[in-house]
Amino acid sequence: MGDKSFRIKAITLILIFASLWLCSAGRLFYLQIMKSREISKRMREEQLRHLLTEAKRGDILDRKGRVLATDLKMYTLYAKKDLIEDPQKTADALSNYGIGSKSRLESLLKDDAEFIKIARGVPDSIVEEIELKGIYAVREWYRYYPSRKIGKTTIGTLNWKREGIIGIEREYNDLLMGIDGWAYYLEVPRYSGIKLLKKSEADYKDPIPGKDIYLTIDLDLQTIMDNELRELKESTQADQVMGICVSVHTGEILSMVSIPEFEPQEGWSNNGCTSWEFEPGSIFKLIPAFAYLRNGLSPGDIVVDSTSSTSFGGKVFRDLHSHPAYTFREAIIHSSNAGFISVGEMVGKKEMYRCARLLGIGCKTGIDLPIEYSGKIPVLPRERDIRLATVSFGQGVSVTPLQMVMAYQAIANDGVLLRPRVMKEVRRNHKVIRKSGKEVIRRLGDPGISMTLLDVLHDAALKGTGLTASLSLLPIAGKTGTAWRVKNGRYVKEEYISSFVGMFPYPKPEFVIGIFIDNPKGAYYASLTACPAFREVAKRMALLKGFRKNLL
């Protein structure tokens, strides 16, 4: 009886163990054979990381191929906290590599996050040296501007998303940014944390680098203009200064400076050359002068008598100083406001307004830069006579520096107004895929009118208010401007805007340079501020190899 009971119990246990073994074997067979691919795939997915691989942004270069903006390959260091055995030693080692202070690193490594960002912008040379468990690196691109502040507002800068926010970086962002790629990375714990991420055999897509933008800007001339205007701002204590140089026959912007330049840490600053609107004063006399000649009137005719005054619109206007009777030519040479009010009366409201629009006043120039303002000119045929009088000498109208420079460009170019541009060509892998070309906005009519006006403006620079801008070996034509400053719709006492726009070499100009000074302290006449700055820029420009043959 006992033996039978024992046998039953033994058989029962054997059957139970056999059943368990068969179940285990079956389960193992099911998992290892039937489900092996699915399990393997699931385990692999748990280790895979899908990461975007950022595209290299295209370079920005000057007209001679010198780099103004480029991407540098840098790294961001991360810590995987569960692999770091001694945070203090790790922090000490990282500090020795110049990654940061030991106290800061120790504080970071105490964070509860699984992955901790340690530092950005770490170069190759340091990454290659680091051999620390739990520390690894991810490659990123960092924007670098070799010329630093020079031309920064025109070149532009990026936000934290690496998107252009001003200048060329913004205008051509779609071409520069490229297309990001992606890849799967397999997390493989190794002693060297830097090799923690290893590309798997899964599909991936390489990023496509952005295209390179070659500018019309010449870095040498840009540097000259930048240095001169920084000195000018310091000596005059002006709120801002701007300078533009344009090629007469192509419309290419060779230099464009707006100081203070844009600095993210100092707050937003637009490009004043395209977005600053101001009352121009006497540089605007180019427009009534053009209208006067366009109507067939003679440069030798008297426009103001020896009383140095004129009556118009029920008001008497006088020049600052008494003088003999002035012809039209002399009125420009000596910048007579009374003379130009008479010019405006001879021309009339309709013709004055038409000629202002022909020369681009009140219109955007169409330059390929963001944030351009149009200025404003009143519709004179609808205005009172007094408005025609003030507009004739540059009051009651607002312009941008670029507008005025391009108006002078049209006169220097035999009456052909061009669209200004800063992009010369776009390249991919050193091959030109797009080029900008000369674009005519409009033709102003008889080239002889522009030639006569150019001759008169040469006299203004040689004998009149622009004398301090002249160079003995570089004949120029140009006009000064000194105007009251407007704030909140009112003229501000003892605040002025000084300017000079010059064309050279006379009589066949190749270049136009405009210098604009906002609220200089102390001496404010253009002959004492803008003219000497123009002369210095033009003189140094004439010594540059790339421009010498066109100037001397």
More confident residue, 76 or 40: 76
Cα 81 to Cα 87, 107, 135, 195, 494, distances in angstroms:
9, 13, 9, 16, 64
pLDDT digits (tens, 9 = 90+) for 439-488: 999 999 899 999 999 999 999 999 998 999 998 889 999 999 999 998 88
- Cα 253 to Cα 422: distance, rounded to the nearest angstrom: 5
DSSP collapsed to 3 states, 465-499: CCHHHCECCECCEEEEEEEEEEECCEEEEEEEEEE
Residues with Cβ < 8 Å from 45, sequence gap 6 or more? none
Averaged pLDDT, 58-69: 96
* pLDDT, position 451: 96
Beta bridge partners of 122: 75
Both structure tokens of 447: 């080239």
Averaged pLDDT, 190-217: 66
Beta bridge partners of 304: 326
- Cα 317 to Cα 308: distance, rounded to the nearest angstrom: 9
Three-class DSSP category at 429:
coil
pLDDT digits (tens, 9 = 90+) for 481-493: 999 998 888 888 8
Cα angle: 120, vertex 124, 128; to 5 degrees: 110
Among the listed residues 522, 487, 525, 517, the one whose alpha carbon sits nearest the alpha carbon of residue 240: 517
Is 501's pLDDT higher than 70? Answer: yes
Beta strands in 87-239 (DSSP E): 115-122, 135-144, 157-158, 164-166, 181-187, 197-205, 212-215
Residue that has been written with the tokens 């022909």 in this structure: 358
How crowded is residue 200: how many other Cβ atoms within 10 Å of its Cβ? 17
- Give the amino acid at 443: R
- Cα 333 to Cα 9: distance, rounded to the nearest angstrom: 128
> 370 pLDDT band (50/70/90 cuts)?
very high
- Cα 541 to Cα 220: distance, rounded to the nearest angstrom: 9
Parallel, antiparallel, or unpaired for β 157-158 and 135-144?
Answer: unpaired
Burial of 449 (0-12, 13-18, 19+ CB in 10 A): buried
pLDDT digits (tens, 9 = 90+) for 207-256: 899 999 999 999 999 999 999 999 999 999 999 999 999 999 999 999 99
* pLDDT, position 36: 57
More confident residue, 19 or 97: 97
* pLDDT, position 191: 38
Both structure tokens of 267: 């707050």
Three-class DSSP category at 172:
coil
Is 301's pLDDT higher than 80? Answer: yes
* pLDDT, position 123: 82
pTM over 0.75: yes
pLDDT digits (tens, 9 = 90+) for 390-440: 999 999 999 999 999 999 999 999 999 999 999 999 999 989 999 999 999
Both structure tokens of 12: 């029962």
More confident residue, 52 or 172: 172
| Element of type H or E holding 460 | helix 447-463
> 312 pLDDT band (50/70/90 cuts)?
low
* pLDDT, position 194: 36
Is 164's pLDDT higher than 80? Answer: yes
* pLDDT, position 197: 46
Sheet holding 253-259, edge to edge: 253-259, 240-247, 511-518, 490-504, 477-487
- Cα 454 to Cα 414: distance, rounded to the nearest angstrom: 9
Residues with Cβ < 8 Å from 426, sequence gap 6 or more? 172, 175, 211, 212, 213, 214, 432, 433, 434, 435
* pLDDT, position 265: 61
How crowded is residue 14: how many other Cβ atoms within 10 Å of its Cβ? 10
More confident residue, 12 or 57: 57
- Cα 13 to Cα 89: distance, rounded to the nearest angstrom: 57
Both structure tokens of 280: 């121009």
DSSP 252: B
Among the listed residues 175, 203, 194, 196, the one whose alpha carbon sits nearest the alpha carbon of residue 55: 175
* pLDDT, position 473: 84
Q: Are 512 and 245 in contact (CB under 8 A)?
A: yes
pLDDT digits (tens, 9 = 90+) for 242-274: 999 999 999 999 999 999 886 666 665 789 999
Q: What string of DSSP letters covers 225-242?
A: HHHHHHHHHHHHT-SEEE
More confident residue, 287 or 142: 287
Is 199's pLDDT higher than 80? Answer: no
Parallel, antiparallel, or unpaired for β 326-327 and 135-144?
Answer: unpaired
Both structure tokens of 509: 């100009």
* pLDDT, position 198: 45
Is 527's pLDDT higher than 80? Answer: yes
Tell me the helix, strand and coil percentages in the chain, rounded to 5: 40, 30, 35
Averaged pLDDT, 81-110: 80
Averaged pLDDT, 144-163: 89
- Cα 235 to Cα 299: distance, rounded to the nearest angstrom: 38
Residue that has been written with the tokens 């002035």 in this structure: 326
Both structure tokens of 527: 């002959």
Average pLDDT, the chain: 85
More confident residue, 106 or 277: 277
- Give the amino acid at 91: A
